[in-house]
Structures are given as structure tokens and as C-alpha cells.
Structure 1
């Protein structure tokens, strides 16, 4: 049954695969995330299609039989968009579009579209536009087929529909112009960072939608946009924060995600520079998410890619108010206790509670354990502050606080 919202919104089917590297549970998890991405972009997921394959079909991603099933469902239910959980090659896009005869998006295109919606500043808009053009360049042959039926909606924002009538030379020229513009922006942002002086810099990093902006608002007493959607924060926000007697700069950065498009990593260099130049990272984690350990691994991979893995880091496990676990009956002697049965106390006894990694358990929205959070951040910033400033300067800050 398709409800009224689905009847008025852009309806989409979601498509994924199960392979040796991606089992059924992992595939389901990725599709859950793709579902959330689709809703964030303004679409309504209607149905999921999943197929077991050794590897994606190089011509059509799915097998032809499964693709025929998708086509029949799309025609029967008047679906306008098919969204694939992996990045499709230009050839796959062309072949799939001929068979399904609807708008085809992949995970990369969907993420780029959300970024296009969220970009507010000229810097963010330029970064997103560059990423979109670099994604479009090898796929222009597909877009020529749309001259008779130009489409809007998800995946068609940003550079706009004029790309349909352009050629590769014009796109390359546009990319060159955008890269030149970004170089200017990078220089301006570098000057801004330099003008902030030697003040200690703390960056909030983490998976998308883990509560970084909410935490930023609570700690800095500012009004950074926060919403329960993926990539609610796209533009980097920097605020001056004072805990006890020490001032420092706190930066709220764009959230990471699995399968983050390489085009975005490259074009958002100036944004990621805020992370690179930070003295301390606060790795925020949504502990209420059933796969938060995978999220941690994904963020650590990106931090390693941008040479930030060895920075001093505090793990901040947020949303403890929403954390739930399965319970085992005392009389149940069969069920083996797994991570899904862990209480917060159980998690604290794992790697989270060892001496090598500082870990905090908080609820930013309910302000639970924020005093402990502030004290820990204060101590970590203090260590860096004492190394950076002469002892007399540190006494000066204490003196100003007492006044």
C-alpha cells in the first residue's frame, strides 16, 4: 500500500547486492543508510531489491532477470527513480537506463545531491559544484539521452540541467575555473586560520548524524544548525569556547559516511584542513546506533587518509539516552551473550574503558555527564596549552578568570 506522502513525493526503489565481501546483514545495513539518504534528499523509498552475486555484473550491475523484476515493479507502481547502493560505471548507467527507462542514481550521486541542497556559503557551493562536475564528466554520454525528457528532482540539483547540452570540453573548462576559485578560497581560509593565532584548536569529527552540532551548541552556547538528518552540517563552524580559565577554538565539521565519494574528499580539502590543523580531536559516536563500531572504523579510515589518525583524540559516545540493548532471561541457559546484549557498563569494560583511549559517555541533548565532558576536554586542552604558552601566560588566564 502506497500512502499519500508517497503519492505526492518522488518515489524511488533501492537496489543493493549481497556478495562474499558484503553479507546479507551488511547489505541490509547499507540499504537502511541508503533509505535515510533518500529521505534526506526528499525522496520516498517504496521498495528494496537485493540480489546475491559473486560480483556486480559489469554491464548491468544486477543480473538481467532481477533487473526485469525491477522494471516491471517500476512500471506497475509509476516509480520515477531507481537508486543503487554502489557507484555505477558510465557503461552500467547507460545500460540500466535503457532497460528501466527511468532516472538512475547511485550512492555517490545521491550524496552529492544532498550536499548540493545543504551548501550555504560560496565556499561550500563551489566545493560541491566541483565534485558534481568531476562526477558528471565521464557520464555525459548518458545525459545526452535526456534531451527529449529533461528531469528535475533528486540528483539533478547543483550544476543544473544545462549539462545535458554541454560537451566534455566545456565541462573541463568549468572544472578548471572551479579549481582556480577553490585555490583562492583555500588561501583565504588559510589566512583566517593563521589570524586565529596560537589558540588551541579542537575539532569535532565523527559519522554523519551523531550529534556533533548539538554538542557544539551546548558547549559553545551558540546556535549552530542541528537536525536529525544526514549532513545537516556542511559548512565548517568555528566558535571560541572557554572552560574554566582556558580559551580555545572548537570546530564543527562535516560528518563522514561510508563509501564517501572521492570527489568530495578532494573538493572539500579546505574543510578537512580544519581537521588537519586541529590540536585535539573529539570523535563523536552515536552509541545508540546498532553498528556504531563500523561507523568508528569508517571515520578512522578517512582520518588516516588525511593523515590525522595520530592526533590526540577523545572518544565521545553520545546519545546514551537513546541506547537500548536486548535482555537475556536469567533462566535462559542457551542464548550466548553478544554485543547486542551489552549494557553501557559492559561497553565501558571493553576497549572503550582502557587507559590508552579516553572515552566519555554523554547525552548532548539531555546534557547528561556534560560536566565530566567539560572537565576531560579542559584537561586535554590544558596539556597542549601549557606546552604552547609560557608559564606566565597560563597564570594570566587564571588571574583573568579569578577577576
Structure 2
């Protein structure tokens, strides 16, 4: 009205309300129309334009067929949608705010979020980042960036928006209402992956418990919001409150039952461990960051059928195998769920029972992806979780896996720097040296006979 043109809110409403176009007309002091500003949504393009704006002009000067313009635009949008691959994956945009992180750290975290999305079966269409000292308490992103995100979601036919930061129930609700899309955070994404991968009854129970613990405060907050809209006090308690309270009560009761079942399973595991201890069989536990190649190493060492997949959290339930050493000695070697940075508290609590198996380990084989760009951070993340479990005093042997992806001249220096054993589980390389070192740690009071290391199941027949 004041010849200010179209505002950012106008352009956001253009996408949210699914409008063909939006036009603002200035009105002069004499009440006559001034310049008109018009814009429409733009199909996805390489330049990243969200809208197409026409040059400001007097309404009388619009001398084109408006209906034809809109039909051509709709046809172009339809063609863009029709050319996309049709598949079962949901289309998602990843969102991350720096919030004090430097650019390099942000890029590593976004790359990890992309891998998590792939593991969950999500097709990542685009990544949106914003440099801010802290997240917005209401919408995580700033107002302008959020408006751009809304339009990008419309342009790319997005089903889901995934935030790298953990978002509060209030933030999730505000964002969902603003974008009219499902909005989840990194924790929910990890929980979804765990729900897909859990196969044992124990694993499924722990995943459900983690999900309910995560959802409980969000359910409570939604209930409080809904109740605040009722006429409070006497006469204000209607069916809505009964339904919300009953939902919360059912969740609490289910959590109580699952916790009771978890304690029962913990006692069963303790009984199995005591029987194993009486037999005096040493335990090797494979630990490490998710997707470091732990399951591949277990399969290579034991020559057994173990599920492996190049995805995060491909292994969720613990897997144990026997491994024979020279002099008719054997160990139990166990593969455990992979660790990850900033592991959500609900997941730590739920999988504490599974990770208790590590307490009986005589040696931890800490597997590291040697080709990862952030080796130090991943080692630190795993050791932090072990410290929280009270396992930081366990003997640890660093195993740098996937050295086949590194230049030959870097491998020896990297292994020497970290005092690690370099291996390639995929190629069977370095396994003999790994088992020889593990034997030295497990039976350090005994001397090996000359040439005895050659009897390690001929593991390195091809790779050495």
C-alpha cells in the first residue's frame, strides 16, 4: 500500500497458501492506484531462485494474458515434478545451524547427517545451512532463512525436513505448522534407523523403550498446550483432557512394563556371563564408531556369515562368534552396536543393558575407519561413551581398518602415530598381525613358540 513492494512474508505465503501469484498495489494519497508488484513461484532451477518477480508497473500497463502466464507456469512446475525419479524413499531437506561451530566441523556433521538419512532410506534433495551464533529459540533458523526453506520445500516436492540440532517439542510444533510438513531432528532419525534394524526381541524392546522415553515429554507438552485452550477450572474438563491424560498414562504404563522386562533380560545375561566366566573363555569385544567396518572384521576373523552393509548402524543386535588361537585356545569375539557423536541420552539409557556385555571383555578391539577425515573426533567419541560406561580402564587395541583406501606411503606413519594395527578387513590384510598382538595382550605371561603365529587359521593367506 505504501509502494513498499512485496515483503518476505508475502513471498512465503505464496508458497504456503499454494497461490498462483501474489500482487501488491500501492495507493496514493489521492486514493488512486500506484505501482503494482507481482510475483509467482519459480520451478527449481540451478540459480536457486525461489520466486519470479515482474517489473513494477501501473496496473493499467499489464498488457499480457494473466491466465496464459499461470498455465505456462503450472505446466513448467508439472514437468519438473514428472521428471523426478519415482521410488519408495522420502524426499528430504537437511538443515543445520553453525551455532558456534566452525565451517569444517559443520561440514563433517552435515556429511554424517546425510549418511544417517541414507541409512534410514531417505533421499536427500538439498542441504540448507545458516551461520548463527546460536539457534533461534522458536524456529531454530532465522525468519528470512525459514521463509527461503519453506519455498525450497515447495519447489522440490519435499516430504520431510531433518534438523541436525535436537529440537524441542515447541520448536517442532512451530516449524511443522509454518511449513506444513513433518519435521524431525537427528535423535528421531537415529531412533527410526534403530527401529528398522532391530531384529531380536531384546533389541526391539530397547528401541521401543528409547522411543517412548523420547516421546513422553513431547506428548506431555502437547497435552499442556491443548488443555490451556480449554476453559480451565470447574466445567472446563471435557473429553479432550480425558483422552490426553489417558494417552500419557498408557505411555507411562508401557515404559514401566518395558523397564521391568529389561531388568529381567539383564538378569538372564548376567547368568550367561557367569557361566561363561566359569569356563574361563576370554572375551574380545569389537567397539568403534558406526560404519567403521566392525562386522566386516568379525566376518574376516571368524570366517562366518555376518550381515554387513555400508550403512550406519547396519549392526544393532550383538553378535558373538568363537575364534580359535594356537595351542588349542579360543576366545569369544563379540560385535556390538556402533557409537556416534552426541549419542542421545534416551539411546544411551536404553542400550546400557546391551553395552553391559563390554564389562566382561578382556580386550576391546577399537576399530577406526582409517580413511575418515575426522579420525581424532571419532576416537574421542567412542572413548567418551566407554568412559560414561565405566570402561575406560579396559585394555584397548586400536585397529585402523580400511587402509586399502589410503595411499601406501601414509599407512605406516598413521599406524605408528596412533600405535594402531593397520588392517583391511575387506582384503584380509593385516589380520595375522592383529591376532598376534591380541594374543600377546590376552596371554602376556606366556611365551610364543617360534613360528607359532603362522598357525592363525591361515587368515592372511592372501593379504598378509
Structure 2 length-normalised TM: 0.71
Q: Which residue of 1 aligns with 2:406?
A: 323
From 126, 144, 154, the equivalent of 1:65 is 144
User: Are the counterparts in 1 of residues 220 and 248 from structure 2 also a CA contact under 8 Å?
Assistant: no
CA contact (8 A) 1:288 1:324 kept: no
Give how far 1:310 is off. Answer: 1.4
Q: For residue 313 of structure 2, give the secondary structure of its aligned residue in structure 1.
A: coil
1:318-357 equivalence runs, <5 A: 318-324=401-407, 343-350=410-417, 352-353=418-419
Name the counterpart of 2:364. 281
Specify the alignment match of 1:77 in structure 2. Answer: 156
Asked if 1:305 corresponds to 2:305, the answer is no
CA separation in 1, counterparts of 2:222 and 2:313?
Answer: 27
Given the alignment, which residue of 78, 91, 97 partners 1:11? Answer: 91
Q: Is contact 1:93–1:142 with CA below 8 Å preserved after alignment?
A: no
- The answer for the alignment partner of 1:381 in structure 2 is 442
Aligned counterpart for 2:343 among listed residues 260, 266, 274 = 260
- The separation in 2 between residues aligned to 1:137 and 1:380, in whole angstroms, is 46
Question: 1:177 and 1:311, CA in 2 relative to 1: closer, same or farther beyond 3 A?
Answer: same
Name the counterpart of 2:230: none
Residue number in structure 1 paired with 2:168: 89
Q: How many residues align?
A: 349
1:385-396 to structure 2, matched below 5 A, reads none
Whether 1:367 aligns to 2:367 is no
Aligned to 2:295: 213
1:56 aligns with 2:135: yes
Q: Aligned partners of 2:415 and 2:298: how far apart in 1?
A: 24
Question: Of 113, 121, 132, which aligns to 2:211?
Answer: 132
Superposed CA deviations along residues 318-346 of structure 1, whole A, max 9, x for unmatched, are 00001259xxxxxxxxxxxxxxxx82233
**2: CA distance between counterparts of 1:324 and 1:17?**
34
> Contact conserved, 2:400 with 2:415, CA < 8 A, in 1?
no
Separation in structure 2 between the aligned mates of residue 225 and residue 14 of structure 1, nearest angstrom:
29
Name the SS of the counterpart of 1:104 in structure 2: strand
Note closer, same or farther for the CA distance 1:164–1:51 as it changes in structure 2 (3 Å cut).
Answer: farther
Q: Which has the higher contact order (CA 8 A, sep 6+)?
A: 1
Q: 1:120-179: per-residue Cα shift (whole Å, max 9, x none)?
A: 0000000000000000111126878xxxxxxxxxxxxxxxxxx99962111111111110
Matches within 5 A, 1:106-117: 106-117=185-196
In structure 2, stretches of 5+ residues that fail to align are 1-43, 45-79, 224-242, 456-464
Question: Mean alpha-carbon deviation: is it higher for 125-134 or for 222-231?
Answer: 222-231
| Aligned: 1:103 with 2:198 | no
Higher Rg of the two aligned structures: 2
TM-score when normalising by structure 1: 0.82
Root mean square deviation, CA, Å:
2.5
Cα distance, 1:5 vs structure 2 = 4.0
User: Which of 256, 260, 263 in structure 2 is aligned with 1:183?
Assistant: 263
